[in-house]
Each structure stands twice: as structure tokens, then as C-alpha cells.
Amino acid sequence: MRYYLLNLYIGRVALAAAIDTLCFVAAAAIAWLTLTSPFTFSEYATAAGLAAIANFVLLYYTDCYGLTVLGNTPRTLKNFAAAFGVAAAAVLAAYMLERFHLLSGFPSGMLETSAPVALIYALLFPFGRISFVVLSSQPWLGQNVLIVGASDLGREIARSVHLRRNLGTQVVGFLSDDPEDQGTWIEGYPVLGRVHEIEKVVTRAEIDRVVVASKRRDEHFPAEALLQAKLTGIKVESGVAFYERVTGRIYLRELRPSYLIFSEGFRRGRIADVTRRALDIAVSSIGLLLVAPILGLCSLAIRLDSPGPVFFTQYRLGAGGRLFRVRKLRSMRIDAEEDTGAVWSSSDDDRITRVGGLLRKSRLDEIPQLWNVFRGEMSLVGPRPERPEFVDMLTERYPYFRLRLAVKPGVTGWAQIRYGYVNDILGVEDKLALDLYYMKYRSLTMDLLILWKTLKTVVLLRGV
């Protein structure tokens, strides 16, 4: 799989996690050596291990390993303070429960050993993050990129890399044959020369990767120079492939059917389909049973908050363009579309009720769709099902929009965890680029990643 979490970012997360682990080991050793305690080092090590697991979960849910936070020391320390506050509250609650003998079966001495380990770790954490910043700035964890061609794609690549500079990827500059580009800067990066000067530039600027984003096929293409660079160990990649790998989306502009036909991906396997269907049945059936009490509480809250039914029903288009009914917990007034007809909602939509706002943030309004998953009309993961009123309009503007109907729609999806709700036509373009990317690299592993990220969205109330 080549989606963006498996590029340089994963190496940086691994480095940060390794440093965090070393800090926990050091905290356990310091606590055992300096504190007067009847507990052995193995007990401290056990406490450190359990505390480390809880810590990694908290750091993940407070975005300390997030793309925009990792490497940003002030934001990391701020988020860590929030994580430590949650951990301290949990330890205090556990201590009070143990004092009142409400934690039967809780390992004896676990609080006495884990609390000092966690406190010492909190003191070591800033030094660990400083070490991470120093190590992650080393060349072996980054790469210098040269963009060949000052096309729209090349400019978009430069912008995308700049937004994700914590990955360690640095655009050194452009090569362009356009006379007007010589001696100028594009998207904040210099034009280092013409395309035929690639060998000289690659050597002088210590380039690790060459990304080809030429405007036209008839433009001078330095095939021999690129081949020579590749044979010397420099990675050479098409601009479209690099853009996909960095952003996790398809480059829609100038997208051709030939690309969809001949590129890797967009494959379906019978075994994968059967496994995915088995997972859908298992999770939806168990999920419907487990969330029944939550569904009851949500229904009561909806009835008390505003007049009208608990559920609302809409028709959506599924795989192959088949029409099916989807039910959701009502989050808007009953007359929400009486004057406007079918329109997109937004995060600050005044049609959303008070309870409905919370339901949308937590994604609890999507719970009834588990029944559609059980029936086989939807899958747990996939492009969101669209209303038939919008499909023709969107297909007229985006000819590839109907490709989404090649797979079952999902309760959650790659576009949902990366973008959220759509509230304008430009948002549709962004989500289509994400949906097509998912369809190209679709796999069970990617589905599990999306489900894991969706759980984070639910817990942190980031649904809107």
C-alpha cells in the first residue's frame, strides 16, 4: 500500500514512539533506584509497560503523533499537558475506587508503582521531544526533492509538500524550460535552471528524489539524464504518483481514462470481497446489539429536544446505481428542507437542533446505518452514499463522479476521516479526489485504518 501514512511520516512516528519507550524504561529504572519501596524492578517494569500502553493511546488521541503536531515542540507540549491531565484524573479516580474497595481484582501495588513512573516520565518527555527534533532533522530521515516542470501539477506538489513539511521532505526547487520562469521563484521555491541542466542541478543540490511534472509530453524530456540519476540511486517518480503518495488523493485535473485503466490499483478480488462482507456482517450485527442502549438514550434526547420523529429516511444510490433507503437519527428540524429543497448542510447550519449538533459531532446519527450494512446495501467503509437529486448534477460537473457507484457506499470512509462533511461544490471535488484514491488502493488493511481513525473522530467529537 502506498497511501500517505506509509511514507516518511511513519518513520518519524516510529522514531518518536521509540524515544517515548526509552523514556518509560528510564522512568521505571529511576523510580526503582531512587524510591524506597517494597516493590521489585519487575513490578516497576510491568507498571511501566501498562502505563506506556495507556500513554501511547492518550498521545494518539491528543494528536501528539499528528502530522501537524509532530516536530512542533510547543504544540506537542501543549497536547501532552492535556494527555497528562487525563492520565492524572484517571489515576486519581482509580486510587479513590481502590480506597473504597471498588476495584476488586486490581493488581496490588499497581497504582503505587505506575504513579511515580508516570510522573518521572512526564519530566523526561520534553527532553525526549527535543531529542526527536534533533534526530529528525538528520538527512537520513528526510529527502530533497527536485520538481521537473513548473506545471499546475508541479505547483500543487510544492504546496502540498510545504503543508506537510513535518514529513521531512523538502522541495529544493524547480526546473523549467519556460523563459519567463528563469531566475524567478515558484510557490516559494527557486527555479534552478532549465530541464536539460538536470544532471548538474542534481549533483549540486544533493537531490534525493526527482519528481517529473512536465506540462506536455512534447516538452523536452531528459530521459537519459533521468535514467542515469536513477541508476546512481536517486529516486525518479512521476508527479501524479508523488502527489498521490503525499496527499492521499487523486489529482483530478487533467485526469484521463487511460490513467484509470492502465495504472496500478482499482482492482477487486473475490477473496477480499468475501472477507469484507463477513466483516460487515459480524461488526454490524454485534454493533447493533451493543449500541441499542445508546440508541434508546439518543431517541429519548431527540424527542425531548424538538418535535418530530426520532428517525428520518432518505433515498440514496448504492453500488451499481441501485436505490435504497437509509435511516439516520434526526439531527435537524422536521421542516429543514421545506423551503429550500435538497441542499447540503454545513457545520453552522441553523436547521440543526441542539441534540442534533452533538449527534453529528459524535457521528452517532449514523448508527441506524448499521442495519443497511447488515442487509448488504452498504459496507462499513466506502464512499458516502449520495442522494439521487445530487448525482446527475455532480456527474455533469465532475464526469468521474459516477465511478463511486462501482463499490458499496460506506458508513465511514477515507474522505470522511480526511475531509468531513461537504457543504459546497468545491468540497465535492476534494472528496471525490479522496474517494477515487480509496478505490484505487482499497484493501482490508486500509479499511481497518479508516475504522480506527473513525473511532478517534467519535471519541473526540470531530464529526463536523
Complete DSSP assignment for 101-168 = T--TTPPTTHHHHHHHHHHHHHHHHHHHHHHHHHHHTSGGG-EEEEEE--SHHHHHHHHHHHHTGGGS
The number of distinct structural domains making up the chain is 3
Judgement on whether residues 452 and 329 belong to the same structural domain of the protein: yes
Q: Is 46 helix (H, G, I), strand (E, B) or coil?
A: helix
What the block records as the C-alpha cell of 307 is 418535535
- Is residue 263 domain-resident? no
Given 84, 114, 136, the domain boundary residue is 136
Q: Is residue 423 part of a domain?
A: yes
234 and 127 in a single domain? The answer is no
Q: What is the DSSP letter of 419?
A: T
Residue 403 corresponds to which cell in the numbers above?
465511478
Q: Tell me which residue of 140, 128, 134, 7 sits closest to 59, measured CA to CA.
A: 128
How far is it, in rounded angstroms, from Cα 359 to Cα 464? Answer: 10
Question: Is residue 16 situated within a structural domain?
Answer: yes
Mind listing the pLDDT tens digit of every residue in the chain (464 residues)? Answer: 344 434 567 778 888 888 988 988 888 888 888 876 676 777 767 777 777 788 888 888 888 887 778 777 788 888 888 888 888 887 777 777 766 666 555 555 566 777 787 888 888 988 988 888 888 777 666 789 999 998 999 999 999 998 887 777 889 999 998 888 888 999 999 999 988 889 899 989 889 999 999 865 545 677 888 888 889 889 999 999 899 988 889 999 878 888 888 877 787 788 889 999 999 999 999 999 999 999 999 999 998 988 888 998 889 999 999 999 999 999 888 766 666 566 666 556 678 888 888 888 888 888 999 999 999 999 999 999 998 888 888 898 898 999 999 999 999 999 988 887 766 677 888 899 999 999 999 988 899 989 988 888 887 766 65
> Across the strands, what pairs with 210?
146, 236
Q: 109 is in which domain, residue-wise?
A: 4-136
User: Does the residue 381 lie in any domain?
Assistant: yes
Identify the DSSP state of 332. Answer: B
Same domain, 423 and 281: yes
Domain annotation covers residue 259: no
C-alpha span between 423 and 344 (Å, rounded): 5
Do both 113 and 180 map to the same domain?
no
Q: Positive or negative, the Cα torsion across 192, 197, 203, 207?
A: positive
Residue 156: give its domain's CATH number. Answer: 3.40.50.720
Q: Are residues 232 and 275 in the same domain?
A: no
324 and 436 both lie in a single domain: yes
Dist. CA 146–CA 138, nearest whole Å = 19
| Domain-embedded: residue 258 | no
Taking CB atoms within 8 Å and a gap of at least 24, the contacts of 73-78 are 73/129, 73/130, 73/133, 76/129, 77/126, 77/129
338, burial (CB in 10 Å: exposed 0-12, middle 13-18, buried 19+)? exposed
Give the integer Cα–Cα distance in Å for 274 and 281: 11
pLDDT attached to residue 427: 80
How many Å apart are CA 206 and CA 146, to the nearest integer? 10
Neighbours of 88 (CB within 10 A): 14
Quote the pTM value.
0.82
Whether residues 166 and 185 fall in one domain: yes
Please check whether residue 256 lies inside any domain of the structure. Answer: no
Domain finish residue from 119, 136, 153: 136
pLDDT given for residue 190 in this prediction: 95
Q: Are residues 169 and 131 in the same domain?
A: no
- Among residues 115, 136, 157, the one where a domain terminates is 136
Return the DSSP state at 249: S
Q: Based on the fold, state whether residues 167 and 132 are members of the same structural domain.
A: no
Q: Do residues 132 and 150 share a domain?
A: no
Flag whether 255 is in a domain: no
The sheet carrying 235-238 orders its strands as: 185-186, 189-193, 169-175, 143-148, 209-212, 235-238
Contact 321, 370 (CB under 8 A): no
Say if residue 214 is in the same domain as residue 229: yes
Same domain, 284 and 393: yes
pLDDT at 376: 95
